[in-house]
Amino acid sequence: MSTVDGLSLGAAPVLTAQGPDQLLRTIQQIGLSHYSIEELQHEAVVGEGESFRVERCVYNKAVVAVKHVKLGHSQANVQSSYHRLQSVLLEIQIMRHSPLKDHPNILSALGYGWKSHGERLLPYVVVEYAVHGCMRAWLRGTARELKTKFKLAGDIASGLEALHVCDIIHGDLKLDNILVVPAPAREVQVVAKLCNFGHSIILRNGTRDFKYFGTILYIAASDSFLEAIQLIIV
């Protein structure tokens, strides 16, 4: 397992009118396959976050998740769009990092593409689709066996260990950033995968000088923590 030194995760290109173009060129260098917008069959919007709007689509008879990068249209949104491009690039580089891209507990990046909006290019990223959704939704579903919950907890620990060996801190680990994917060959029939690495922290040369950009933790978050524990043990 190597560190991320080769990922060039330093300063990203300054966001100009060509910012999305630069992102697409960088993605191409990573080696992702191109998923043409004309060949994607759009089915439904399944989620939305700070940086992405996520759709369930079909491509070559396979169900995939398409994460459309959210970019502002006004000059006032340039700074926020810059940070979104930064987080998108960071996420893709982590998912395609050699020691992580085939890890069973890290969500797989499959491809990329873009659609035109006037003179602008709006990029998107294609990742594997999680039929069961996030861990929060899965835990709130039908009563789950304790054995299955323990197995998924082990999956989460395995994914985190793989990141930490590569000197990566997830930076925003929560139930919503853990997906539950079918695994027919496994006894418990499902596997947990970590996702959403846009707020991850890269440790370089043992440095601990970093800023946290993930979910803000308020005192009231203790209620959410207790809720998560109850969902897990019940």
Question: By the 8 A CB rule, do 95 and 193 touch?
Answer: no
Residue whose pair of structure tokens reads 């300063």 in the numeric block: 11
Candidate ranges 13-17, 97-101, 203-207; pick with highest mean pLDDT: 97-101
Structure tokens at 32: 């992702």
pLDDT value, residue 222: 45
pLDDT value, residue 32: 85
Which is nearest to 66 in space by CA: 55, 51, 79? Answer: 55
Domain ranges of the chain: 10-128, 135-233
DSSP for 72-112, written as a single string: -SSGGGHHHHHHHHHHHHHHHHHHTSTTTTT-TTBPPEEEE
Q: Give the pLDDT mean for 144-149.
A: 93
Q: Give the pLDDT mean for 164-191.
A: 95
CA–CA separation, 100 vs 162, rounded Å? 7
pTM of this prediction? 0.79
CATH for 135-233 (3.30.70.80, 1.10.510.10, 1.20.140.10, 1.10.8.60): 1.10.510.10
Q: Give the pLDDT mean for 40-69.
A: 92
The one-letter code for the residue type at 106 is: I
Q: Give the architecture-level CATH label for domain 10-128.
A: 2-Layer Sandwich (3.30)
Which is nearest to 9 in space by CA: 171, 161, 155, 153? Answer: 171
pLDDT value, residue 12: 31
What residues pair up with 65 in beta bridges, in sequence order? 56, 127
Residue-wise pLDDT for 14-32, tens only, equals 333 346 667 777 777 788 8
